[in-house]
Structure 1
């Protein structure tokens, strides 16, 4: 089923083709027609399944006929849990808006940036992509009003609620006009998400994409290796595999910093991504990595969800995550949009029972090699 069959305006079809979209993913194939029809939508699909474009394209389609919004009164509100996701979603909107109209703009509103600058630039933005706390701060300063919102999107809703944003989300919902379209996207249908669904959605079009439908392009492999040898094996895989863009996951900020320092000492370009870094540093590292200017990005689970890196070839679990779902989210950074990718896990003997549980829960048997058999001297 090509994008041309979904009902999008010809200019958007052309823009989607130019951006590399040929056939819609399962979530896009169902969500786009439902949103175009004006339905509320509940979409359950793991990150990496194409959810963002699945709601951005039909929203932009609907904005074709509107005039510039009133000052400080956007018409579309997208709530997200993290700064990084806010900037990513905003860029997707900005990439498609020119195909429809040069009059409309999108603004990311997040903490960690100057509130005064955001107050000055919100102006006539038609679309606001925001983290809940900073949005409420701007509302408290009368810098933005929500009385003209016609479309509300809650993206990564399960993560947003897990991070403790429920009270903020409830306060924002109370400020919105009753007559609007509501779009709720989540990787899981947890109890908090079920509560928000009942509160928010009216006779929604429900889409549930099984996880295995979106993971066929990921080649998984694991190495059994003592904890003390994980660092040398990681560097061996990067150097001898000639890996040019690698996202590495570690369990803590301290471990992330240790891995980065070791990589740099061994002349491998690397940067860190975790909550203790300033927002400006995090955004800079992510942009460098996406642009191919940084060979390795080492992150906590901060980047396990909601971050789209086009054609990322390789993800490495330096340590296993706490839950099988987090494992799926991590490796889902690669193998996106029908492009193959590798997911490598470094598993210590102490982690083997947990690794077996991950395989059982995900229904995927992963090839296990013995890392001790590899000569990592000099790495």
Structure 2
């Protein structure tokens, strides 16, 4: 379906055309008209399905019509669970907002960096993308007012409601005006989300495009069964033998992320880790370089991976398996996006074999396996 049939303004349609966006994805086809019609929306769609643009475009359209507000009284609040996702969402708003004639300003705020520059940057902001903790800090310092908000958006609502944000979210909800439009977007549907839907949303338009487990066909999956002590050499073997130039590697801890990166670098493979113990500047630089193809390997944990959004990422490697099948599907869903094929490789040690069988059963797809113990890893 063409964007021209969804009710967007001529300037936004031209911006889409200039950036080679021609056909709307399913979540965009359903969400954009509903949001423009001032409906509350509950959207369930996997990461990489065009979810962010499905609310960015109608939000900008609505602000083209009415963006009047007092200084530091924002119009639109987008809450996200991580700094990386905050930057990503802000970038999408600015990608389109910088092209249209109306002056619509977007700012992202998050913890882990100095608060004063963020306070100064809030002058004249229409759209604020924020992590809950930093938003509350800014409210307490009277740097931003929530009384004029006309729209609240929860992006990655599943994480916002299950990662220790509950108390902060409840405090924020109490500060918001009762009359507002609410948009919730999530990759999964859980009981917690269903309860929040009943509290926050008024007769919402529920959009469920497709469950991630139903969209793994574009991803070529392969599992190497290997002893734990051989995972490092096997990872380097795969990267070098397949000449992988852009690969995202998942591990379970910050310690393991740093250890894997050290071994890769010592063997001539350019790699960087991002995790909660890294400074925001280094994390942003690593993600920027990785997206631009200047960094060959990025090693990350599940939490930090939420902000890594690359349309044509060719390969994901699970150095260690995640705890849940849903997290596994989310990880491999970083590749095979926007209808493009991708490869997902898992390194499975003997202790992980039972868990990997559970993951495959939940996914409804059995993964081809290779006995890596028969591979000559000498020199890797």
* TM-score past 0.5 threshold: yes
Offset, 1:32: 1.3
Aligned 8 A contact 2:276 2:304 in 1 = no
- Post-superposition Cα deviations, 1:272-308, rounded to whole Å, max 9, x if no partner, equal 0111112222112111111111110001112343531
Shift of 1:99: 3.0
Q: 1:371 to 1:19 in 2, by over 3 A?
A: farther
**Are positions 1:225 and 2:226 aligned together?**
yes
Shifted more, 320-329 versus 163-172: the winner is 163-172
Are residue 146 (structure 1) and residue 153 (structure 2) matched? Answer: no
Kept in 1: contact 2:83–2:307 (CA 8 A): no
Alpha-carbon distance in structure 2 between the residues aligned to 1:205 and 1:222 = 40
Segments of structure 1 that go 5 or more residues without pairing to the other structure are: none
Q: Please list, as runs of the form range in 1=range in 2, the aligned pairs for 1:326-345 lying within 5 A after superposition.
A: 326-345=327-346
**CA, structure 1 residues 30+299, in 2 after alignment: closer, same or farther (shift >3 Å)?**
same
Whether the 8 Å contact between 2:212 and 2:333 is mirrored in structure 1 is no
CA contact (8 A) 1:236 1:376 kept: yes
Residue aligning to 2:13: 13
1:34-113 → structure 2 map (5 Å cutoff):
34-67=34-67, 69-113=69-113
- More deviation, 189-198/320-329: 189-198
Change (3 A) 1:24 1:373: farther
Q: Is the 8 A contact 1:49 1:214 kept in 2?
A: no
Match for residue 359 of structure 2? 358
Corresponding residue for 1:129? Answer: 129
TM-score by length of 1: 0.96
Indicate yes or no: 2:248 matched with 1:247: yes
Query: Secondary structure of the residue that 2:331 maps to in structure 1?
Result: helix
Residue correspondence of structure 1 range 172-183 to structure 2 within 5 A: 172-183=172-183
1:166-220, Cα deviation, whole Å (9 max, x unpaired): 1211111111122211001112222221222111100000011222454332111
Q: What is the CA–CA distance in structure 1 between the aligned matches of 2:17 and 2:332, rounded to whole Å?
A: 26
For 2:147 and 2:366, locate their aligned partners in 1 and report how far apart those are by CA, in whole Å.
51
> Which piece of structure 1 moves more, 3-12 or 229-238?
3-12
Describe the shift of the 1:334–1:18 C-alpha distance in structure 2 as closer, same or farther (beyond 3 A): farther
Does 1:25 find its partner at 2:33?
no
Contact kept? 2:224, 2:347, Cα under 8 Å: yes
Aligned counterparts of 1:20 and 1:222: Cα–Cα separation in 2: 36
CA distance in 1, matches of 2:67, 2:301: 43
Q: Distance in 2 between matches of 1:236 and 1:121?
A: 47
Which residue pairs with 2:162 in the alignment?
162
Q: Is the 8 A contact 2:42 2:185 kept in 1?
A: yes
Partner of 2:324: 323
CA deviations on 1:92-125 (whole Å, 9 max, x unpaired) are 0000112323511100011112211111110001
Conserved 8 A contact 1:45-1:186:
yes
Q: Give the corresponding residue for 1:308.
A: 309
Q: CA 1:18/1:216 → structure 2, altered by over 3 Å: closer, same or farther? A: farther
Q: What is the CA deviation profile of residues 289-332 of structure 1, one whole-angstrom value per residue up to 9, with x for unaligned ones?
A: 11111110001112343531231111000011111001011111
For 2:214 and 2:59, locate their aligned partners in 1 and report how far apart those are by CA, in whole Å.
Answer: 25
- Corresponding residue pairs, total: 379
Mapped partners of 2:308, 2:20: distance in 1: 18
Are 1:2 and 2:2 matched, yes or no? yes
Find the aligned partners of 1:86 and 1:46 in 2 and give their Cα distance: 17
- Specify every segment of 5 or more residues in structure 2 that has no aligned partner in the other structure, as ranges: none
SS at match of 1:301: coil
In structure 2, the partner of 1:294 is 295
